[in-house]
Amino acid sequence: MRFSPLRKACVAVVAATATLGLAACGAAGTSNSESSDGANGSGNAVTITDVTGRQVHLDSQPKKVLLAEGRGLFATSLLNKENPTENVVAIGSDLHKAAPSYEAKLSAVHKQYNDLPTVGNIAKGDVSVEALLSHKPDITVLSLDHKKAAEESGLLKKMDQSGLKYVFSDFRQKPLENTTKTIAMYGQLFGKEDKAKEFNDFYDSKVKDITDRVSAAKNKPKTLVWRAAGMKDCCSTVKDSNLGDLVNAAGGKNMGDELLDTESGDLTAEKILAEQPEQIIATGGSWAKDPDEPEVLPHVELGYRAQPATAEKTLKGLLSTPGFTALKAPKKGNLHAAYHQFYDSPLNVFALEQFAQWLHPELFQDVDVERDFADFHKKWMPFEYSGTFFISAKS
């Protein structure tokens, strides 16, 4: 059929109008879909990068985050001091036993914490995929310490099979490498990227100041990190990780790096006496006594409820270890203790600062670590500073 030129023009106009109308409807439909979908709209998709470099893609900003390690609240408290548990649906059970004085402070000012369910402890193998699924998390945060245990128990495989998405954090294994990576990841997870960057800038600046100062040190004191002193037979320590890395960065020489074959392990009292460390740094906390796990020695009492006199008394109690009266370091005033939970939290930078001052006091005469930590609480933490976190035994 043939059309006149006028008829052709009319058809073209109608067709163009219809096409524009459909395009407009399509665009409006897409916009409505994205705004109403919320959790599923591709317009809000995010990609989370964890400390292993894995990238996990989510359709939207997560609204339900499961912290498989309860101490992940150390990080959320920094990024959101007004509401540290916002968008957290459950946590691991470790916080209650590992950091009771921190937990008490948090629960006193943030009542929502008391309603948070717990899922057990992955590192101890008592968490099931069903327990995780029951909270319907958009994503689960595991620590690098959980990774091996979850692989060996088959939990990680079951999580993959069930479609549970997860990322890995780390404040413990390589604190100076992974603290800022982990905080950046938490910033992504909770939509607090600006706050995460602010903290990381603070952290990097403080680390640089400390390491720049100790670069002028003429010696590196041989230092024993006595981990969780008093909780078991002498003496647990670390190699190429954890607080040992902080000792090295603070201008010391971590003994465990040369004496252990594994990342963590024990040194005998006889070996320590033979080595005669120049500095001894124990870690302590506010651990409740467990009748099923009696303390070999009184543990060093540190944390948000600890008083300086008690902290020093319990620190000196470590010298009841058979033979330790022959150690030279305590007689020179070089027996110290730091809060144990610095080993697994973004607060580790204050342990670094204190270690550096203990190892090289001549380079840090203008530094007051306790004041720095108290000032940090005013700006960053959901509760006020209290307690004792560092102590040295008077010779």
CATH code for the domain in which residue 380 is found? 3.40.50.1980
Q: How many structural domains does the chain have?
A: 2
In a domain, 22, yes or no: no
Residue 114 lies in a domain: yes
Q: With helix as H, strand as E and coil as C, how does the chain read?
A: CCCCHHHHHHHHHHHHHHHHHHHHHHHHHHHHHHHHHHHHCHHHCEEEECCCCCEEEECCCCCCEEECCHHHHHHHHHHCCCCCCCCEEEECCHHHHHCHHHHHHHHHHCHHHHHCCECCCHHHCCCCHHHHHCCCCCEEEEEHHHHHHHHHHCHHHHHHHHCCCEEEECCCCCHHHHHHHHHHHHHHHCCCHHHHHHHHHHHHHHHHHHHHHHCCCCCCCEEEEECCCCCCCCCEEECCCHHHHHHHHCCCEECHHHHCCCCEEECCHHHHHHHCCCEEEEEEECCCCECCECCCCCCCECECCCCHHHHHHHHHHHHHCCCHHHCCCHHHCCEEEEEHHHHHCCCHHHHHHHHHHHHCHHHCCCCCHHHHHHHHHHHHCCCCCCCECEEECCC
Answer yes or no: do 302 and 358 share one domain: yes
Q: What percent of the chain has pLDDT over 70?
A: 87
- Same structural domain for residues 263 and 361? yes
Q: Are residues 145 and 181 in the same domain?
A: yes
Q: What is the mean pLDDT of residues 151-176?
A: 97
pLDDT at 260 over 50: yes
Which of 20-29, 248-257, 295-304 is predicted most confidently?
A: 248-257
> Does residue 138 belong to any structural domain of this protein?
yes
100 or 22, higher pLDDT: 100
Confidence of residue 93 (pLDDT cuts 50, 70, 90): very high
Decide if 303 is inside a domain: yes
List, for residues 31-43, the tens digit of each pLDDT value: 322 332 333 334 5
- Considering the domain architecture, whether residues 175 and 230 belong to the same structural domain is answered as no
Binned at pLDDT 50, 70 and 90, residue 232 comes out as confident
Domain contains 224: yes
